[in-house]
Amino acid sequence: MTQGFLLFATSIALFLFAMVKLNTCVQRLLSARVREYIKYSVRRPIYGLITGVISTIVFQSSSATTLLTVGMVSAGIISFYHSLGIILGADIGTTLTVQLVAWKITSISPVLILISGTAWILGRGAVKSVGEILFYFGLIFFSLSLTGYATAPLKENSTFLAFFQETQNPLLGVAIGIVFTGIVQASSIPISILVIMGHQDLVSIDNALAIVLGANMGTTVTAFLAAAVSNINGRRTAVAHFTFKLIGIIICLAFLPLAIPVFQALSKDVSQQIVLGHILYNCLIASIFFFILKPVASVIEKILPGKAITLSLWPEYLDEGCATDPDEALEQVRKELLREFSLTKQMLSDAQELILSYSRGRRRDIHFVEMVVDNLQSEIARYLNRVSCSALSGKASQRLFAFSAIVDDIERIGDRAVNLAVLAKYKHKSKADFTSHAEVELEEISRLVFKNLTDTVAVMNQGDKLLIEDISDRDTMIHTKIQDAIQNHLIRFRLGTCKAEAGPLFVDVLINLKRISDICKSISTNFENLD
């Protein structure tokens, strides 16, 4: 029994490890593609549903998709209403993993691991990356095959057989599923284990379906954990997810006695019956709520009142119909550049706060807002390219080339803000606190950099060229203060008054702030040269 328990625990740990690594690899390889899908998911609810299904199949985890969705809603990348379709799609996508287990893909997982592992080790470029992804994909199913070996001896345990094969109170099964999934943060684990036990005739469909329902409800724990560091819209998404699952469970428990004979008639295999129950439950939820998402969103917004800003992924000012009128088109570009700049300004403000007071939710929001900035950069650049095909006057040509440089400069400020957020995370994790003198120096430099950013926005918005000289003078002052701060830090380091690990972080933060000020000066200079 001890050996079986250790093997069972090891298989779960291996599953979670493989799932996390697969998730990381997929995001690293397909991050650009995922961003493209997200852009389209907000167009119509059906696109959100499809995005949720595809994302969960790729990540092999509805929890990963739910975490991503709650984070994007909190950051304002997508609205609360549009997040509901993605959540419903994620619930459907998670059924594929369990179906693959029922088809006994676990039996060929060693072959998949061997082939993909070889490609990972010996391959180059895309072959190596795909090999790594398939390796962890195979490892997921190999870990599930280990649970089969761990549970096989239970055929001889009469107590275990009596509990899982004799009809129990469905609420007990629901509770088991909720607790198990809440602990491991993945509904695929308990449901896949039930499927494997079904192959071995260790569980009856009567008890298994109740646990499946509970496992599905258990996935809401992940959403609530993400909502704990989210704004009001993130919390609304978590509540909506819980509401979907709860109403689905109530309906399914009411009709459970009628559903079981139907599953038994559709398949003689208990494992496939379990899969059918899992699929039907999630499809039932989607079919009920998909057509009433707006009323559901309105009700939850009344239950959880509050305002949250939703950022548009798409340009708000660029009119394709005006692209042939250079003067009008370039004025629209200027407005869109200001919108892009306002987002990077907020990113920098949040990043500066993170350095002194770390918040996981704020750091996550910075990364998500970067998605909007990157998308605006590509859309503005595309629009400018189209405008360049028109007959341009000398003044219009000058503005077009200036805007082409500025759109990249603004995006670079966003990148620097992300760098500061990453440094803040590392500072928090390593407990590399700055000295009080360093914090005073950093606060003064940060204030000057932010003032340069604010004045640059004013130059772009109002054409106030008197501020350009102020920006240049302030940039020189920032350079001097950063040099002084680095020298002061070296003195503190020699005297042993600051932590060794804080030094490189302090310098990196200063360098990023310096680069942001330099970019502000570059943008203002581009405007100064315009007629």
In a domain, 309, yes or no: no
- The reported pLDDT for the residue numbered 529 is 67
In a domain, 310, yes or no: no
Hunting for tokens 């800003």 — which residue is that? 309
Q: What is the tens place of the pLDDT at every residue in 490-502?
A: 888 777 777 777 7
Q: Which two tokens stand for residue 506?
A: 């302090």
In a domain, 365, yes or no: yes
Shared domain check, 386 and 299: no
- The reported pLDDT for the residue numbered 163 is 66
Q: Which of 241-255, 368-382, 387-401 has the highest mean pLDDT?
A: 241-255
In a domain, 485, yes or no: yes
> DSSP class of residue 200?
T
Q: Residue 164: which domain range?
A: 2-303
- The reported pLDDT for the residue numbered 161 is 65
pLDDT band at 108 (very low <50, low <70, confident <90, very high): confident
- Whether residue 83 has pLDDT greater than 80: yes
Shared domain check, 273 and 142: yes
| Contact present, 308 and 76 (Cβ < 8 Å) | yes
What is the spatial distance between Cα 471 and Cα 526, in angstroms, rounded to a whole number?
A: 13
- The reported pLDDT for the residue numbered 33 is 55
Shared domain check, 331 and 255: no
**Residue 1 burial by CB count (10 A; 0-12/13-18/19+): exposed, middle or buried?**
exposed
- The reported pLDDT for the residue numbered 368 is 79
- Of the candidates 242, 274, 303, which is a domain's last residue? 303
Higher pLDDT, 383 or 496: 383
In a domain, 313, yes or no: no
- The reported pLDDT for the residue numbered 517 is 94
- The reported pLDDT for the residue numbered 285 is 92
- The reported pLDDT for the residue numbered 94 is 84
- Of the candidates 272, 303, 334, which is a domain's last residue? 303
Mean per-residue pLDDT, 325-330: 85
Q: Identify the CATH number of the domain in which residue 353 sits.
A: 1.20.58.220
Shared domain check, 339 and 191: no
- Whether residue 77 has pLDDT greater than 80: no
- Whether residue 150 has pLDDT greater than 90: no
- The reported pLDDT for the residue numbered 31 is 55
233, 358, 201: which is closest to 300 by C-alpha?
233
Name the domain count of the chain: 2
Hunting for tokens 């010996």 — which residue is that? 122
Q: What is the tens place of the pLDDT at every residue in 131-144?
A: 888 898 888 888 88
Shared domain check, 351 and 292: no
Mean per-residue pLDDT, 216-235: 83
Q: Over pLDDT 70: what percentage of the chain?
A: 91
| Contact present, 199 and 144 (Cβ < 8 Å) | no
Q: What is the tens place of the pLDDT at every residue in 444-463?
A: 999 999 999 999 988 888 76
- Of the candidates 303, 338, 364, which is a domain's last residue? 303
- The reported pLDDT for the residue numbered 410 is 92
pLDDT, mean over the chain = 84
In a domain, 480, yes or no: yes
Residue type at position 103: W
95, 94, 91, 92: which is closest to 242 by C-alpha?
91
Shared domain check, 326 and 291: no
Shared domain check, 358 and 209: no
- Whether residue 294 has pLDDT greater than 80: yes
- The reported pLDDT for the residue numbered 167 is 59
Shared domain check, 159 and 30: yes
Shared domain check, 329 and 277: no
Q: What is the tens place of the pLDDT at every residue in 24-72?
A: 777 666 555 555 566 566 667 888 888 888 888 877 777 778 877 887 7
Shared domain check, 361 and 254: no
Shared domain check, 337 and 269: no
Shared domain check, 340 and 391: yes
Q: pTM above the 0.75 mark?
A: no
- The reported pLDDT for the residue numbered 419 is 93
Mean per-residue pLDDT, 16-29: 76
Give the SS3 label for residue 11.
helix
Higher pLDDT, 435 or 310: 435
